[in-house]
Structure 1
Amino acid sequence: MNSLPRLVATDIDGTLVRSDRTISARTIATLERVTASGVPVVLVTGRPIRWLHQVYEQLSAPIPAVCANGAVIYDPDTDTPLHTAPMEPEILSRIAERLRAEIPGVVLAVEIEDSRHMLHEQEWPVRYESGLPTIRVVGSPEEITSAPAVKMLARSGSEDADGFTALVNGALKGLAEATHSSYSGLVEISAVGVTKAAGLEWYCRRHGVDAADVIAFGDMPNDLPMLTWVGRPVAMANAHPAVLEIAADTALTNDEDGVAAYLEKVFDL
């Protein structure tokens, strides 16, 4: 990238947001100045739509988002999904069948209704949304695959995240995409070809921006497709080793306002 970026794309967790789940005043101000200069900022996240309010409540103005690892492009001004790429029940059933056959004890959940709602099996650990009407336990194993879903989630005991993701990818080869964005052993499954790169490409094409003119920030394996697609891929210093390996540059950690510090230099803010 030999000129200023025409679009800034950033992951949320472990990247824009600090460990205490807050966004610093410095980061908020920097994003405002970048946007005021005419360069749009886009959130590119594994989060579902229903988790974005935690970010928007901290910003001075909502920012468009590529959600669910590229399966949903969301316009916060109209509260509308502009584009979705769900998996149909038939595909979900095949995915669940393979996982249950090859990974004994696997527990499943799905993000449905453009990721505004979740269905999960009884054994699924509901950690942050217990009791909410948007989260519901299914009555049978078949119900988990009964509606189109933008993402399926899989857990299996205390499996290592990288190893478990490789196991899931092996089981689903040619049927779906599997990645992870945490070290908790949670694997995120999307339709074939649906990644953060695909979602960001859809958004950029709509706005006439080429990949070469995009700078992106990320920290986890689900960011790898996006970071290999853009013109300037930047890893956070706290990033997963696979992300650090492919990035063109490294920013400070998320707790050190790495995105803000890097953008301040790029845009001379």
Structure 2
Amino acid sequence: MAPFGLVATDIDGTLINNERLLSQRTISTLAAVGVPVVLVTGRPLRWLEQLNEQLPVPLPAVCANGAVVYDPHTDEVLRADPLSSGLLTDVIRRLRDAVPDISLAVEVEDGRSFLHEPTWPLRWTDPRVRVIGSPDELTSVPAVKLLARSATADPDDFLDLVSTSLGGVAEATRSSSSALVEISAAGVTKAAGLAWLCEREGITADQVVAFGDMPNDIPMLTWAGHAVAMGNAHPAVRAVADEITETNDNDGVAVYLEKVFGL
């Protein structure tokens, strides 16, 4: 019998290497485990394309830190749990009061489109990414994720400041090495999205092995029956893990799965 009934894995810093590529070893190992594999990521829907192009068969995904559950075979959003326009208005007011140099953006249309303030730094061009014409556009429609960035803050300190400012009305986490905080509706985490999908498929938490590297993975790792941190993981992630594997550049997910599944 397989030691686990489902493999749940983060993407960036975990499943792919630092060049954003899947190794052939990882591709072969995922195909060989013989149990479902689910991507659980902070990425929006539109960022799954880059990964799925490298896979022989696309994988189901919990996106936007749990706000979207996606079936790539039908191109269907099975579940979405966005921040409402009213909640966005409240959260943005709190953030502007607390962080003078804050820059904001939102993932909308289930993560198929991205709206950002003129001060938001862009490192790529994409027709699905658009600068807003007025601040009201940030709150005009529900968003599966609000992103907040500071140009000057320490990343961990910035997360603490944003979390305190929110006062529990929404979830704040981070997956970047910079001062970038990702905000979801209250109760929306990677754990919540994965738990919903697992219940739908008749899989319990104790059957799940999960892999991650950054603070946004902590809810998933504490929910799963077995938590594995990458060798490159943030200290807070390593602290909650049951085991630590190799780094993402050294195929840490594949190394661990080969060992426990006897591949």
User: Which residue pairs with 2:14 in the alignment?
Assistant: 15
TM-score, normalisation: structure 2: 0.98
Report the Cα distance in structure 2 between the residues aligned to 1:176 and 1:161, rounded to whole angstroms.
19
Q: Give yes or no for contact 1:43–1:66 (8 Å, CA) kept in 2.
A: yes
Report the Cα distance in structure 2 between the residues aligned to 1:40 and 1:189, rounded to whole angstroms.
28
Out of 177, 182, 191, the residue aligned to residue 176 of structure 2 is 182
User: Which residue pairs with 1:158 in the alignment?
Assistant: 152
Q: Give the Å deviation of 1:133.
A: 2.0
Report the Cα distance in structure 2 between the residues aligned to 1:144 and 1:156, rounded to whole angstroms.
17
| Helix, strand or coil at the partner of 1:149 | coil
Q: Give the Å deviation of 1:161.
A: 1.2
Report the Cα distance in structure 1 between the residues aligned to 2:82 and 2:181, rounded to whole angstroms.
17
1:1-269 → structure 2 map (5 Å cutoff): 4-34=3-33, 37=34, 39-128=35-124, 130=125, 132-269=126-263
Structure 2's unaligned 5+ residue stretches are none
Report the Cα distance in structure 2 between the residues aligned to 1:119 and 1:3, rounded to whole angstroms.
44
Q: Give yes or no for contact 2:65–2:189 (8 Å, CA) kept in 1.
A: yes
| Helix, strand or coil at the partner of 1:52 | helix
Report the Cα distance in structure 2 between the residues aligned to 1:253 and 1:176, rounded to whole angstroms.
31
Q: Give yes or no for contact 2:105–2:115 (8 Å, CA) kept in 1.
A: yes
Report the Cα distance in structure 1 between the residues aligned to 2:60 and 2:208, rounded to whole angstroms.
15
| Helix, strand or coil at the partner of 2:144 | strand
Report the Cα distance in structure 2 between the residues aligned to 1:65 and 1:89, rounded to whole angstroms.
25
Q: How many pairs align?
A: 263
Q: Give the Å deviation of 1:158.
A: 2.9
Q: Give yes or no for contact 2:2–2:261 (8 Å, CA) kept in 1.
A: no
Q: Give yes or no for contact 1:158–1:184 (8 Å, CA) kept in 2.
A: no
Report the Cα distance in structure 1 between the residues aligned to 2:167 and 2:221, rounded to whole angstroms.
22
TM-score, normalisation: structure 1: 0.96
Report the Cα distance in structure 2 between the residues aligned to 1:158 and 1:219, rounded to whole angstroms.
24
Report the Cα distance in structure 1 between the residues aligned to 2:167 and 2:32, rounded to whole angstroms.
43
Deviation string, structure 1 residues 44-79 (Cα, Å, up to 9, x no partner): 000000000110011110000000000000110111
Report the Cα distance in structure 1 between the residues aligned to 2:230 and 2:161, rounded to whole angstroms.
26
Deviation string, structure 1 residues 143-170 (Cα, Å, up to 9, x no partner): 1111100000001113211110000000
Deviation string, structure 1 residues 191-212 (Cα, Å, up to 9, x no partner): 0000000000000000011101
Following TM superposition, the consecutive aligned residue runs of length 4 or more in structure 1 with deviations greater than 2 angstroms are none
Q: Give yes or no for contact 1:160–1:183 (8 Å, CA) kept in 2.
A: no
Report the Cα distance in structure 2 between the residues aligned to 1:80 and 1:178, rounded to whole angstroms.
26
Give RMSD over aligned pairs: 1.0
Report the Cα distance in structure 1 between the residues aligned to 2:167 and 2:3, rounded to whole angstroms.
39
Q: Give yes or no for contact 1:102–1:171 (8 Å, CA) kept in 2.
A: yes
Deviation string, structure 1 residues 102-143 (Cα, Å, up to 9, x no partner): 111211000000000001001001112x2x221111111121
Alpha-carbon distance change, 3 to 31 in structure 1, aligned in 2, over 3 angstroms: closer
Report the Cα distance in structure 2 between the residues aligned to 1:65 and 1:171, rounded to whole angstroms.
30
| Helix, strand or coil at the partner of 2:157 | helix
